[in-house]
Chain A
Amino acid sequence: MSATTTEPGTAYVPAAEALSAVMAPGARPRRPSALSASITFGWRAMLKIKHVPEQLFDVTAFPIIMTLMFTYLFGGALAGSTTEYLQYLLPGIMVTSIVMITMYTGVAVNTDIEKGVFDRFRSLSIWRPAPMVGYILGDMFRYTVASLVILVVGLVLGFRPGGGVTGVLAGIALLIAFSFAFSWVWTMFGLLLRSEKSVMGVSMLVLFPLTFLSNVFVDPETMPGWLQVFVEVNPITHLVSAVRSLMGGTTDTGEVTLVLISSAVLVVVFGTLTMRLYNRK
Chain B
Amino acid sequence: MSEHGAGPAIETSGLIKIFGKNRALDGLDLTVPAGTVYGVLGPNGAGKTTAVRILATLLRPDGGEARVFGHDIVRDADAVRGRVSLTGQFASVDEDMTGMENLVLIARLLGYRKPGARDRAAQLLEAFGLTDAADRQVKNFSGGMRRRLDIAASILNTPELLFLDEPTTGLDPRSRNQVWDIIRIVVAQGTTVMLTTQYLDEADRLAGRIAVIDHGKVIAEGTPGQLKASVGAGSVHVRLRDASQRPEAERVLSKALDAPVQLEADPVALTARVAGEGIEHAAAERAARALSELAAAGISVDDFSLGQPSLDEAFLALTGAPARADARTDHPATSEETAA
Tally the A-B contacts, defined by beta carbons under 8 Å: 148
A156 at the interface (CB under 8 A from B): no
What are the residues of chain A within 8 A of B85 when measuring CB–CB? 123
Question: Given the complex of chains A and B, what is the CA–CA distance between A116 and B102 in angstroms?
Answer: 13
B200 at the interface (CB under 8 A from A): no
A52 at the interface (CB under 8 A from B): yes
What are the residues of chain A within 8 A of B158 when measuring CB–CB? 23-26, 28
Question: A23–B92 contact, CB under 8 A?
Answer: no
Number of interface residues of A (CB under 8 A): 50
Question: A125–B86 contact, CB under 8 A?
Answer: no
Provided the pairs A8-B145, A47-B97 are in contact, do residues A125 and B81 lie with their beta carbons within 8 angstroms? yes
A4 at the interface (CB under 8 A from B): yes
Number of interface residues of B (CB under 8 A): 64
Provided the pairs A18-B127, A28-B158, A51-B137 are in contact, do residues A9 and B188 lie with their beta carbons within 8 angstroms? no
Question: B178–A31 contact, CB under 8 A?
Answer: no
B105 at the interface (CB under 8 A from A): yes
Interface stretch among B128-136, B249-257, B276-284? B128-136
Cβ contacts A8-36/B at 8 Å (1 or 0 each): 11111111101111111110111110001
What are the residues of chain A within 8 A of B97 when measuring CB–CB? 44, 47-48, 51
B:113-130 near A, CB below 8 Å: 113, 116, 123-124, 126-130
What are the residues of chain B within 8 A of A20 when measuring CB–CB? 185, 188-189
A205 at the interface (CB under 8 A from B): no
B175 at the interface (CB under 8 A from A): yes
What are the residues of chain B within 8 A of A6 when measuring CB–CB? 142
B91 at the interface (CB under 8 A from A): yes
Question: Given the complex of chains A and B, what is the CA–CA distance between A241 and B195 in angstroms?
Answer: 59
Question: B96–A52 contact, CB under 8 A?
Answer: yes
Closest-CB distance, B149 to chain A (whole angstroms): 11
Question: A19–B185 contact, CB under 8 A?
Answer: yes
A121 at the interface (CB under 8 A from B): yes
Question: Given the complex of chains A and B, what is the CA–CA distance between A130 and B191 in angstroms?
Answer: 28
Question: Of B53, B84, B109, which is within 8 A of A126 by CB?
Answer: B109
Interface stretch among B8-16, B54-62, B201-209, B326-334? B54-62
Closest-CB distance, A194 to chain B (whole angstroms): 15
A5 at the interface (CB under 8 A from B): yes
What are the residues of chain A within 8 A of B133 when measuring CB–CB? 5, 8
What are the residues of chain B within 8 A of A5 when measuring CB–CB? 133, 140-142, 145
Question: B82–A31 contact, CB under 8 A?
Answer: yes
B40 at the interface (CB under 8 A from A): no
Question: A119–B92 contact, CB under 8 A?
Answer: yes
Question: A16–B157 contact, CB under 8 A?
Answer: no
B:180-233 near A, CB below 8 Å: 181-182, 185-186, 188-191
Provided the pairs A21-B127, A32-B109 are in contact, do residues A48 and B96 lie with their beta carbons within 8 angstroms? yes
Question: Of A14, A18, A29, A52, which is within 8 A of B112 by CB?
Answer: A29
Question: B92–A22 contact, CB under 8 A?
Answer: no
Question: A19–B142 contact, CB under 8 A?
Answer: no
Question: Given the complex of chains A and B, what is the CA–CA distance between A279 and B219 in angstroms?
Answer: 31
Question: Of A11, A18, A28, A52, which is within 8 A of B126 by CB?
Answer: A18
Closest-CB distance, B204 to chain A (whole angstroms): 20
What are the residues of chain B within 8 A of A31 when measuring CB–CB? 82, 110-111
Question: Given the complex of chains A and B, what is the CA–CA distance between A117 and B105 in angstroms?
Answer: 11
Question: Of A7, A12, A32, A125, which is within 8 A of B128 by CB?
Answer: A12
What are the residues of chain A within 8 A of B92 when measuring CB–CB? 116-117, 119-120
What are the residues of chain B within 8 A of A12 when measuring CB–CB? 128-129, 148, 178
What are the residues of chain B within 8 A of A22 when measuring CB–CB? 123-124, 127, 155
Closest to B127 in A: A18
Chain A to chain B: the 4 pairs with minimum beta-carbon distance, closest first: A12-B129, A29-B111, A125-B81, A125-B82
- Give me 13 A-to-B residue pairs in the complex whose CB atoms sit less than 8 angstroms apart, sorted by A's number: A8-B145, A12-B128, A16-B185, A19-B128, A23-B155, A23-B185, A26-B158, A32-B111, A36-B108, A51-B96, A124-B110, A125-B78, A130-B109
Q: Which A residues fall within an 8 A CB radius of B?
A: 1, 4-16, 18-26, 28-32, 36-37, 40, 43-44, 47-48, 51-52, 115-117, 119-126, 130, 280
